[in-house]
Amino acid sequence: MAMAWLFTGDQAAAESHLEGDVFDFGITVPDESLTVGDTIVFTNSGQRPHTVTDRGNTFDTNGIAPGDSASVTFDVPGTYEIFCRINPVNMNATVVVEPDDDPPEEVRIQTFDPGFDPDPEETLRFDPPELQVQPGTRVTVANVGGAPHTLTADDGSFDTGEIEPGAERGRFAGDHASFVVDEEGVFGFRCLIHPEEMQGTLIVAGDPVAEPEPEPPDDEPEEIADPGAGAVEAVAVDMDDFSFVPFEVAALPGAELTWTNRGSAPHTATFDEVEGRVEGLDTGTVSPGDAGVLTAPDAPGSYSYLCEIHPSMRGVLVVAAERAPPEDVEVDTDPVDEADDVAAQPPAEGDFSTPALVGAIAILVAGAGAIVIAVRGRPEESAEDGTG
């Protein structure tokens, strides 16, 4: 849980690092981001009591009387939506806490939705959607919206379960839940209640993952692989928990497609297209150990599909056109006959720049050193008058 140390009165002033203000009716916080361990001292300058409360319900100052103060120390990096429980609509603010040089022992993610009271135009999302932590780091997920949410790994490695929203569709504080991942890896996650809209990535690594350096350009043009290469008349794909293996397969039109469920959970192979589903291309639910069989479409192209039970499971079917004969197939033609056909073509009269001059054959007469030139296709009038 996010640790927030609370003090009142003179104690707060002794512990202060940054100043905040609570008044009738608003909350102000420092403009700059905080660093882990920083404290905000909130002084009530109004005429009524107010609170400073986390919408994720990790801390609450309770009522601060006019003229008194309360402080909150933020020991967990992340974003905090804070508000006053007595005036929840008008008194809201956001605090951003950055990590320090040491890897944090705990991090915070928030879930948002259109029920989030300070901004009714809010969208379904995780904040942040991507996060990198070290193994053993606690991840706290705070529901600051007005609808229930989960944060669940696509491969089942972690799951917060359903996190309750704030009362009156996010008017008040929601709940939070935590989990710890000890295994290194890259984990996609989503809200199981809003799986298409709310997705993210958690990277668990002992050392920071550096951005790969771009490879120098290759002078040789890259050869683009034919996606339909290896197309066959029968294709087999395994349904694992939670992926299709192989991800991409190639088949000929009308080929038999078989999906075998090798996992422990039920799955489907349901095809989709940009303009809607491909009618009839759906295995339905395939139980563990069973198989689903479909027929490939006749039209060549790339077809994407997914598991409707686990939408993060996706695959691609490439339907290839029928292959043309290989280029090295022998062609039954006679090159000598072709040459004779070309030579038999009538010359264009008076045109020596055309193929009428098929060629010259030089015959070296042995011992005489004479060269006799025979020109084929010479115009008749040139031969008769003896010119040339």
Tokens linked to 204: 């668990």
pLDDT digits (tens, 9 = 90+) for 86-120: 999 889 999 999 999 899 999 999 999 998 878 87
pLDDT of residue 36 exceeding 90: yes
Tokens linked to 57: 């319900």
The answer to whether 290 and 277 are in contact (CB under 8 A) is: no
Output the pLDDT for position 306: 86
Enter the pTM of the model: 0.53
Output the pLDDT for position 116: 80
Among 28, 24, 18, 31, residue whose Cα is nearest residue 72 = 18
Among 22, 108, 133, residue whose Cα is nearest residue 58 = 108
**155-159, 335-339, 383-387, range with greatest mean pLDDT:** 155-159
Specify the DSSP element, H or E, that contains 180: strand 176-180
pLDDT digits (tens, 9 = 90+) for 183-225: 999 999 999 999 999 999 999 998 654 555 666 555 554 444 4
Q: What's the CA gap between 159 and 140, in Å, rounded?
A: 11
Output the pLDDT for position 12: 37
* Lowest-confidence segment of 15-19, 38-42, 223-227, 370-374 by average pLDDT: 370-374
Pick the CATH number of 103-208 from 2.60.40.420, 3.40.190.10, 3.40.50.9100, 3.50.30.10: 2.60.40.420
Output the pLDDT for position 320: 82
Q: Where are the domains of the chain?
A: 1-101, 103-208, 232-319, 347-384
* CATH code at 1-101: 2.60.40.420
Please determine whether the domains at 1-101 and 103-208 fall in the same fold group of CATH. Answer: yes
The answer to whether 71 and 112 are in contact (CB under 8 A) is: no
Taking CA atoms, 197 is separated from 127, 143, 269, 314, in Å, by 13, 16, 21, 16
pLDDT of residue 226 exceeding 90: no
Output the pLDDT for position 213: 60
Among 199, 202, 192, 197, residue whose Cα is nearest residue 124 = 197
Over range 156-164, report the average pLDDT.
Answer: 95
CATH entry 2.60.40.420 includes domain 232-319: yes
pLDDT higher at 254 or 325: 254
